[in-house]
Amino acid sequence: MQVVGYETPAGALFVSDADPATDAPPGTPTGDVDRIALDPGTDLSWRLGERRCAGTVHEGGHVVCDADDAPYCDDHRSTWVCARCTGTCLKDEMDCFDDHAIYLAAFAPDTFKVGVTREWRLETRLREQGADRAVHLRTVDDGRIAREIESGIAANGLDRHSDEPTAVARPDTDGIPDRVRVPTKVAGLAATVDEAAWDRLLDGVDYEASFSFDYDLDLSERPVAETLASGTVVGTKGRILTVENAGTTYAVDMRDLVGYELLDGDDGEGRDLQSSLGAFG
């Protein structure tokens, strides 16, 4: 069984029983794809085997690939060009004509980012990223305008306004990042948002709505970053899966599981896993 994908914000792994040795025409689905919900309290008991390209999922079936590159080989690696857009469309024909929201997101304790998404899926997108706080800055008519504004905020910061009648917008001298790496999110899992820093960022900034999210992880200390698929699920936050194994809580980037073969047995039995100090208490 191979991990061929994951789901956020609900929290799930997609696994396939396709055999890479199957002699089938290229592009033909040869395995069924099952969804494994990562609900709190779920027990996982797999060891990680070899890792290879996860292939593709097509019409509910898995198109297997035996290439060594993981999680995807060049033939199956896809790049979402919109993620690189700064206002100049990179597609042959622009197709993002629905309303787009521009937002700021906070990740505990004090990491902030700017982003854009289609307005109708704003809250879902924030949960997909594992944001702790967020504000919806404004809505614009299409993705091109949104990406242009996002790029400007990333480079130059926010425009702030004073209550004084004669005041004009004054941009920050520092930009706000448009992405946050998973290790940074893992480092803040047991922390709370620095409210003072968040309030300073928003001081003088107009926005349409605010959000606060609770992922019910209830962590007393920072989990240990590890790649494993065994233990009792504590919960998920964005694409980060937290599991408790032998007294230690681990944080797993689900993308790092994609491509691995899953074998029966607890990974803690056959691997040297780093443990937290609390595991020895």
pLDDT at residue number 68: 93
* The token pair that represents 76 in the structure block: 């199956």
Q: What's the pLDDT band for 168 if we cut at 50, 70, 90?
A: very low
pLDDT at residue number 269: 54
pLDDT at residue number 87: 61
Q: What is the CA radius of gyration of the chain?
A: 21
* The token pair that represents 3 in the structure block: 């991990």
For the chain, how far is it from start to end, CA to CA, in angstroms?
Answer: 36
pLDDT in tens, 50-103: 999 999 987 778 989 989 999 999 888 876 665 666 666 556 566 666 899 999
- DSSP one-letter string for 195-241: HHHHHHHHTT---SEEEE-------SSPPEE---EEEEEEEEETTEE
**Which tops the pLDDT comparison, 74 or 184?**
184
Average pLDDT over residues 165-182: 66
Which of these ranges, 109-118, 160-169, 233-242, 258-267, has the smallest mean pLDDT?
160-169
What residue segments make up the domains of the chain, in order of their start? 2-78+216-280, 81-212
Average pLDDT over residues 159-174: 50
- DSSP one-letter string for 25-45: -TT---EEEEEEE--TT-EEE
Residue 191: pLDDT over 60: yes
pLDDT in tens, 219-277: 999 999 999 999 999 999 999 999 999 999 999 999 999 999 999 987 655 566 776 65
pLDDT in tens, 195-209: 999 999 999 999 999
pLDDT at residue number 125: 97
pTM: 0.88
- Mean pLDDT score across all residues of the chain: 87
Spatial distance between the Cα atoms of 279 and 276, rounded to a whole number of angstroms: 6
Residue 35: pLDDT over 90: yes
Q: What's the pLDDT band for 30 if we cut at 50, 70, 90?
A: confident
pLDDT at residue number 88: 66
pLDDT at residue number 80: 62
**Which tops the pLDDT comparison, 170 or 13?**
13
**Which tops the pLDDT comparison, 23 or 159?**
159
pLDDT in tens, 231-247: 999 999 999 999 999 99
Q: How many beta carbons lie within 10 A of that of residue 233, not counting itself?
A: 18
